[in-house]
Structure 1
């Protein structure tokens, strides 16, 4: 069986962070968060890294990653663009940002032909998640069997502001029954809440499983994703801030009994960079992992 591919979402604008956090240095020798994900992915058994980026990022990404990864793992690049004609939509819709994470994975439909995993560029996930995902993709994945790594929401929050989280509900078999994207989740009065557009707040248990965009798919997902994306564009063409999130795809597949999503649990503490103020925390966490021997001080 062909080894699975790791698809890294790195086309975001990083508006809250203030710079290209995807290639910012955090490790002792300037390693990016992506470096640690790729290191874990290679160790776990992935066979290819596909970066989803904006085309103007290409030279920067190649100069940073190609020298490190040459001879270690295959790499390629997918561009997330504003071109809708490739999906049969003959109109231009002006937007400041790309169409979101669901559209990002769709852009890779012509380059991925094996089971694959999707992650964020600016999130640290830990080796266990990659190991468990490779096991799923090589032994259980099928056109009607997908997966997601479920992190406890209490282990995923920023100290410096609100975050977006896909909140998962599971059934008795450990499969996801429903996922709801909460775009404003934060700590409040010793607890955790999410805030709706009308300003109302609702509590969340700290052990609630959430998506950190760590998904497992087979290529069959592209066909249904394209149909959903085209419908989404037609419905949201006058809303320049609308985003086609991966959870929208998962929710559709589940509710229409097309596919199940195994929720792979983890107690790992996620960390990542949403705000500029998160950088010091990320560096402290990585330095501790190096000190504890999880990673060498010089990764490559």
Structure 2
């Protein structure tokens, strides 16, 4: 069975204001998501599941899903604030979404095979999808063995300013031991450094593996996530901004030795529009990939 690609797109409506503004960055108005699905299809994925907000379902189906329907099976699930476990009620003042791992939980009823999780608006690169699909096929029928694509830090920096990255530590067998979110990483005088909460600078190696939210799981991950979400809610009842992130869940599973996570190295360059100034650079990068024959144009015939 081919693995499924699970795309986190529930934040898209709030970020762009309206789906009409999903940014066409490719030569024929392609979005970054178009390239991800194209790469996933040729990498060996068999289905796409989107998690979105119900409020823009109609527009999303018309403007986004219609492109892919003749190429790959597509399903949609919804992330809503009031989608909580039994016994929990939504705080009336809560407006912030519950975070990436809550979004992942929404796929529980439609995903029964190994699956990848990605962000809708990040460019991950052809090689990464192939590497991840191959690993997920190996995990068919297995449990408690997960994976993530670890990008080489120098392949993820923005030319426009500092970035936040999940800096990964791994053991000698390439299994993840920890992820620490570094919120200010940039190249300073030719050297990559991060600034900590006390404003001290520390150097990072060019090839330090970082998480760009490209994960591989098997279906029992949903059960762990559901149980841990209940604990998360109990601990954060009064915190209206607390978010249930994927690394939080993964870190819990690693620290309790419930599961292991293989870090998969990729030569792909990651890019996205972190700053408004990044847009022109992303357009240029996509144009170059088309010019060198990496992608056809238009992408979806």
- Decide: shared fold, TM above 0.5: yes
- Kept in 1: contact 2:114–2:219 (CA 8 A): yes
Distance 1:69 1:56 in 2: 21
Equivalent residue of 1:285, what SS? helix
Bigger Cα displacement from structure 2, 17-26 vs 112-121: 17-26
Structure-2 residue corresponding to 1:265: 265
Distance 1:201 1:21 in 2: 41
Equivalent residue of 1:216, what SS? strand
Distance 2:195 2:237 in 1: 25
Distance 1:228 1:188, change over 3 A: farther
Q: Give me the TM-score of the superposition, normalised by structure 1.
A: 0.92
Distance 2:219 2:175 in 1: 20
Structure-1 residue corresponding to 2:215: 215
Q: Any unmatched runs of 5+ in structure 1?
A: none
- Kept in 2: contact 1:164–1:183 (CA 8 A): yes
Distance 2:266 2:18 in 1: 30
Answering whether residue 81 of structure 2 is matched by residue 88 of structure 1, we say no
Equivalent residue of 2:94, what SS? coil
C-alpha RMSD of matched pairs (Å):
2.2
Bigger Cα displacement from structure 2, 172-181 vs 91-100: 91-100
Q: Any unmatched runs of 5+ in structure 2?
A: none
Distance 1:204 1:95, change over 3 A: farther
Distance 2:14 2:185 in 1: 18
Equivalent residue of 2:264, what SS? strand
- Post-superposition offset of 1:109: 1.2
- Post-superposition offset of 1:160: 2.5
Q: Give me the TM-score of the superposition, normalised by structure 2.
A: 0.91
Distance 2:152 2:289 in 1: 20
Bigger Cα displacement from structure 2, 144-153 vs 227-236: 227-236
Equivalent residue of 1:149, what SS? strand
Distance 1:119 1:22, change over 3 A: farther
Distance 1:169 1:92, change over 3 A: same
Q: How does 1:145-224 map to 2 (within 5 A)?
A: 145-224=145-224
CA offsets, 1:168-200, max 9 Å, x none? 111111111111222333333433333444544
- Post-superposition offset of 1:281: 1.1
